[in-house]
Amino acid sequence: MALRQRLDSQIIIIGCGISGVAAAQRLFKSGFRNVRILEATARSGGRIKTGRMGNNIIEIGANWIHGPSEENPVFCLARHYGLLEPAALTPENQALEIEGHPPWLPNWFSSSGQKLSAEDMTPAMDLFAELLDESSDFESQGGEPFASVGEYIRAQAPLRAAERWKDEDASTRALRLCLITNMLKVECCVNGTPTMDQLGLGAFGMYKCLPGLDCTFPGGYEGIIKNLMSELPSDLVTYRRPVCCVHWNGTERGGNPVTVECVDGERIAADHVIVTVPLGYLKKHHSTLFRPPLPLHKMHSIQRIGFGTNNKIFVEFDSPWWDADCEVIYLVWDDEENMVDQVSDIQRSWIKKMFGFTVLKPSERYGHVLCGWIAGHESEYMETLPEQEVTHTVTQLIRRFTGNPTITPRKILRSQWFQDPWTCGSYSYPGRGCSAQDLDNLREPLPAQGTQSQPLQVLFAGEATHSCYYSTVHGALLSGWREADRLVAHYASISPSEPHRSKL
Task: Kindly list the residues in this chain that would bind ligand 6YU in the complex (CB under 6 A).
Answer: 14-20, 38-41, 46-48, 61-64, 66, 100, 190-191, 207, 242-243, 276-278, 281, 310, 312, 415, 417, 422-423, 426-427, 462-463, 471-473, 476
Angle of the 279-289 helix axis to the 296-304 helix axis, nearest 10: 150
Question: Closest distance between ligand 6YU and the C-beta of residue 127, in Å?
Answer: 17
What are the two backbone dihedrals, phi and then psi, of residue 45, each rounded to the nearest 5 degrees?
Answer: 115, -30
Question: Closest distance between ligand 6YU and the C-beta of residue 344, in Å?
Answer: 25
Question: Closest distance between ligand 6YU and the C-beta of residue 376, in Å?
Answer: 13
Question: Closest distance between ligand 6YU and the C-beta of residue 24, in Å?
Answer: 11
Tell me the residue type at 57: I
Question: Closest distance between ligand 6YU and the C-beta of residue 214, in Å?
Answer: 7
Comparing CB distances to ligand 6YU, the nearer of 200 and 455 is 200
Comparing CB distances to ligand 6YU, the nearer of 24 and 177 is 24
Comparing CB distances to ligand 6YU, the nearer of 48 and 177 is 48
Question: Rounded to an integer, what distance in angstroms lies between the CA atom of residue 474 and that of residue 478?
Answer: 6
Q: What is the largest CA-CA distance in the chain?
A: 81
Question: Closest distance between ligand 6YU and the C-beta of residue 140, in Å?
Answer: 15
Please check whether residue 271 is in contact with residue 13, taking contact to mean a CB–CB distance below 8 angstroms: no
Distance of CA 227 to the CA centre of its chain: 22
Question: Rounded to an integer, what distance in angstroms lies between the CA atom of residue 323 and that of residue 104?
Answer: 13
Cis peptide before 421 (omega within 30 of 0): no
What are the two backbone dihedrals, phi and then psi, of residue 210, each rounded to the nearest 5 degrees?
Answer: -95, 155
236: CB partners within 8 A, 6+ apart: 24, 35, 36, 37, 229
Please check whether residue 163 is in contact with residue 326, taking contact to mean a CB–CB distance below 8 angstroms: no
Comparing CB distances to ligand 6YU, the nearer of 381 and 422 is 422
Question: Closest distance between ligand 6YU and the C-beta of residue 136, in Å?
Answer: 7
Comparing CB distances to ligand 6YU, the nearer of 27 and 175 is 27
Question: Rounded to an integer, what distance in angstroms lies between the CA atom of residue 151 and that of residue 459?
Answer: 36
Question: Rounded to an integer, what distance in angstroms lies between the CA atom of residue 69 and that of residue 235?
Answer: 33
Please check whether residue 340 is in contact with residue 480, taking contact to mean a CB–CB distance below 8 angstroms: no
Comparing CB distances to ligand 6YU, the nearer of 116 and 246 is 246
Comparing CB distances to ligand 6YU, the nearer of 321 and 417 is 417
498: CB partners within 8 A, 6+ apart: none
**Coil, strand or helix: which one is 108?**
strand
Comparing CB distances to ligand 6YU, the nearer of 14 and 175 is 14
Question: Rounded to an integer, what distance in angstroms lies between the CA atom of residue 360 and that of residue 197?
Answer: 30
Question: Closest distance between ligand 6YU and the C-beta of residue 444, in Å?
Answer: 17
**Coil, strand or helix: which one is 133?**
helix
Question: Closest distance between ligand 6YU and the C-beta of residue 64, in Å?
Answer: 4
Question: Closest distance between ligand 6YU and the C-beta of residue 380, in Å?
Answer: 13
Comparing CB distances to ligand 6YU, the nearer of 116 and 268 is 268
Question: Closest distance between ligand 6YU and the C-beta of residue 430, in Å?
Answer: 9
Comparing CB distances to ligand 6YU, the nearer of 306 and 455 is 306
Question: Rounded to an integer, what distance in angstroms lies between the CA atom of residue 287 and that of residue 53?
Answer: 39
* Nearest residue to 34 (alpha-carbon basis) of 274, 244, 236: 236
End-to-end CA distance of the chain: 13
Comparing CB distances to ligand 6YU, the nearer of 175 and 369 is 369
Please check whether residue 198 is in contact with residue 148, taking contact to mean a CB–CB distance below 8 angstroms: yes
Comparing CB distances to ligand 6YU, the nearer of 116 and 461 is 461
Distance of CA 392 to the CA centre of its chain: 28
Question: Closest distance between ligand 6YU and the C-beta of residue 171, in Å?
Answer: 31
243-277: b or e for each residue (b if 16 or more CB lie within 10 Å)? bebbbbbbebeeebbbbbbbeeeeebbbbbbbbbb
